[in-house]
Structure 1
């Protein structure tokens, strides 16, 4: 009996023992959970470390990405100082010159949208090659038109060039955003802007000397065509380099991601079986995905887009006309006016990276939108309505050029942090800017033609009014940022990264999509495209 009792005692635990066992089990489970969390954290950290590319790769990507658009930028910016030459040699008026200056922008009223999402969908590398080929062919056709002094051929070449010139800028934006992972974008975009301004400076300063290098004025377009060929060769090298990186370092395109998801789903359904090769979605799938992803674009991006319609066009229009304005108002020769107008590009070469670094360290991006507008209003008034030396106005304009596009370039990846949408939204941005450029060029040419003695007074008044509106918009954007974006456009990069790690920026109202804002933005953009094409056809034929 005693043995039975003893045996029973060995088998059946007392309540106290049960409690101790449960407590021990809970502690063990808690310890296992902590260990699993630590392991997951270490795995995440390892993934993050692997994802942080070597600085040598970043340096190559930075140099290659910035260099993508050198050829197109150089070719486009030789036209401004050659306005009088082009009017004389091609026998055209101011409106037709406006059509020539905006020809590259015309096809880019819609193409950046399709092209931008094409970069997301099929890949940046191959897209950049297509763009480089289009730029080179367009430059060759346009240069060939100078041999016969044929306006139609020169214009056609600029249109062909337009098929690549704007989308290739989106390639640069995506390349930099990928290799720098949204960190230090202010600095790298500032470097991109600085080098771009340096290319513009060289183009404007050398346009007239290229024209006068021989008895044939067409060398001013043939030399840029040669530079476009060199740019194509450089781009081929970048594509080879990027495709030779490990797969984890390459940009995941939308089509490849969907093909991988389909393959994984097939393997889960039929494990251990031989699977058929998954084909990527065709063009119909591309268009369907494009339409659907439009409704993922944040509402505040659409608001900024539709309120910035003419702003870039006004700056671009002035940059194309400033040499002629200086020549007409100051009596300068075409060569002196070209040199003076090119000064506008000097300060951005130094200040743009500094401004980008300022945005990274201190923020206040939208404040510079209003400040830039005030600077441009001052420049327009000095150049158009006073006899102040043009050099002073161009130096001030160089500060405006530094601050003009950069606040938006560094803000768009913050508004739309998803890489699979970034090419599309940059495409919308470029398309809107190009529509505005065509419209502004046509309006400016028409205003000059109907002004007595074809002076620029009415054109300058138009420019001042548009920039006055943007001054108010900059203040408005600051209010929206604080209310709907948690101040991410105002705060420094360090503070933003801390808040992101704490999960406080996960569901910002301004980043949410809105069907109403999407339909409104698409409708306004469609109307802009129609207006741009109607004005271009009316005044160029």
Structure 2
């Protein structure tokens, strides 16, 4: 049975490559052995035997890794709980602050705007100072913003709340990249990274659901909706305490353990760098940009659908806003149990391109039902399929971004690019959808066409990547199982060396720079759309 990206012939493995020459199996084995010896000095039964480096142990106990993941997950739970609370208070804020849809949208759009403006710098800084350090100052800033927002709701000041939202966005920008940077420094692709992501994202979904479900209960029992935001402040204090403990924990680990290595390639996994790696960031491989194309459609479709799911359910099911909120929450969070399982599946069996194709197809079917099945049963089926399809996206996208990258030390920058693209798309799509919906008397009959377009884009990109994986080894290795990645680790190193020099290197750098240019134009387009929406009053997505 062949491996995607390779074709067997006798005792050789011939690869159809984008920027690299063909290598035979003996050359792959020799290359892999040379690389492993270079890093560790010893090869035994295709595993890496590590010796003590500078008096520090090179073998990190599993219990230490689990403790690290648990603390980062606890930090993420607090943040997701807070975001779930805020999302559930839209109607209350509009009523008690006496604002309309346009003014409310300015709160969320301002956060997206700040992220597109600063997230790339945050990624570069996170790579330099480390994920633990970025989370420490990021959560502190986020908590200051949360306090200002809570104070603003207490005195009923809309402008004061905008200030708090902007400050909170500064902190959120830092923490979004940092937690996954930490995971990348502890776990390599197909060696626990996807499983860790799945666990954290699954717990995060629970946190968001609990926050969304408890918000109105807190407001009703306390007699003032501002208590919801003060409870969010309490949760943020908890995340700050855990973050501080985690920061000291990472310092302790640095003294006791040396850097971890990728068991397949021998690559050193770093938590922070000695200097800024701008050049490596500018030569990201072409498969990385393929994953960015997929997330541009899939994630944007998921976000815009989720943001409007409650109102759609209210109209289509003819139920109250509270009941509709429960329906939308189920569509958004029902698949939380699938996420950890998917992470384990990807770590062991790979098939990342297959999962992306299935995710895209599922999203497309769900949006088609929402568009052309505007009945109660059709919308219910749409919500159910969406709940499963959406759950497949985050883990496979983030893990694929890491797997395609040659240099783990710039993973923070790579993930920041994903966030920048997603938020730019959110601004553009949100405002376009708002204009369409306003012209259709607030109905979802026509605006759902935008969702169908985005879902179709994710499906087509997903299928195209799956097919291309059989022809290009740089993309096809996303399908590799854990055993395949270990066996062909030398091929990954050979590809990496060829991409750094000669014509292949020049082509890759030129392509990467051109993609950076496209990304900057997308960001500028999002800014133009944002300011146009404010000027014309159409920023009510």
Q: Which residue is equivalent to 2:342?
A: 355
RMSD of the TM alignment (CA)? 2.8
2:314 to 323, 327, 339: 327
Note closer, same or farther for the CA distance 1:130–1:540 as it changes in structure 2 (3 Å cut): farther
Q: Which residue is equivalent to 1:470?
A: 458
1:215 to 215, 223, 240: 223
Equivalent runs, 1:506-517 vs 2, <5 Å: 506-508=493-495, 514-517=508-511
Give secondary structure in 2 for the equivalent of 1:51: coil
Equivalent runs, 1:14-413 vs 2, <5 Å: 40-41=41-42, 45-47=49-51, 50-182=57-189, 183-247=191-255, 248-249=257-258, 252=270, 255-256=273-274, 286=276, 289-290=277-278, 292-306=279-293, 308-383=295-370, 385-388=374-377, 392-413=381-402
Q: Give the conservation status (yes or no) of the 8 Å contact 1:141–1:157.
A: yes
> Displacement of 1:415 after TM fit?
0.6
> Displacement of 1:519 after TM fit?
2.3
> Displacement of 1:319 after TM fit?
1.4
Q: Which moved more, 1:125-134 or 1:104-113?
A: 104-113
TM-score by length of 2: 0.80
> Displacement of 1:252 after TM fit?
4.5
Give secondary structure in 1 for the equivalent of 2:376: coil
Residue by residue over 1:248-272, the C-alpha shift from the partner in whole angstroms, topping out at 9 and shown as x without a partner, is 446746653x6xxxxxxxxxxxxxx
Q: Give the conservation status (yes or no) of the 8 Å contact 2:273–2:409.
A: no
Q: Which residue is equivalent to 2:262?
A: none
> Displacement of 1:235 after TM fit?
0.5
Note closer, same or farther for the CA distance 1:473–1:399 as it changes in structure 2 (3 Å cut): same
Q: Which residue is equivalent to 1:421?
A: 410
Q: Give the conservation status (yes or no) of the 8 Å contact 1:70–1:196.
A: yes
Gaps of 5+ in 2: 1-36, 260-268, 536-541
Residue by residue over 1:399-437, the C-alpha shift from the partner in whole angstroms, topping out at 9 and shown as x without a partner, is 122112221111112111422111111111111112122
Q: Give the conservation status (yes or no) of the 8 Å contact 1:95–1:446.
A: no
Q: Which residue is equivalent to 1:441?
A: 430
- More helix per residue: 1 or 2? 1
Q: For 1:253 and 1:410, locate their aligned partners in 2 and report how far apart those are by CA, in whole Å.
A: 17
Residue by residue over 1:326-349, the C-alpha shift from the partner in whole angstroms, topping out at 9 and shown as x without a partner, is 123323222222222221244432
Note closer, same or farther for the CA distance 1:458–1:386 as it changes in structure 2 (3 Å cut): same
Q: Give the conservation status (yes or no) of the 8 Å contact 2:143–2:168.
A: yes
Query: Are 1:525 and 2:532 matched, yes or no?
Result: no
Note closer, same or farther for the CA distance 1:393–1:79 as it changes in structure 2 (3 Å cut): farther
Count of residue pairs the alignment pairs up = 471
Give secondary structure in 1 for the equivalent of 2:203: helix
1:498 to 484, 487, 492: 487
Q: For 1:463 and 1:391, locate their aligned partners in 2 and report how far apart those are by CA, in whole Å.
A: 16
Q: Which residue is equivalent to 1:15?
A: none
Give secondary structure in 2 for the equivalent of 1:78: helix
Q: For 1:390 and 1:476, locate their aligned partners in 2 and report how far apart those are by CA, in whole Å.
A: 28
Q: For 1:59 and 1:223, locate their aligned partners in 2 and report how far apart those are by CA, in whole Å.
A: 29
Gaps of 5+ in 1: 1-35, 259-285
Q: Which residue is equivalent to 2:443?
A: 455
Q: Which residue is equivalent to 1:537?
A: 531
Q: Which residue is equivalent to 1:276?
A: none
> Displacement of 1:101 after TM fit?
2.7
Residue by residue over 1:32-88, the C-alpha shift from the partner in whole angstroms, topping out at 9 and shown as x without a partner, is xxxx99x93279623399433101111111111222333332222334433322333
> Displacement of 1:376 after TM fit?
2.2
Q: Which moved more, 1:473-482 or 1:71-80?
A: 71-80
Give secondary structure in 1 for the equivalent of 2:304: helix
Kindly name which structure, 1 or 2, has the bigger radius of gyration based on alpha carbons.
1
Note closer, same or farther for the CA distance 1:42–1:331 as it changes in structure 2 (3 Å cut): closer
> Displacement of 1:191 after TM fit?
0.7
Q: Which moved more, 1:95-104 or 1:401-410?
A: 95-104
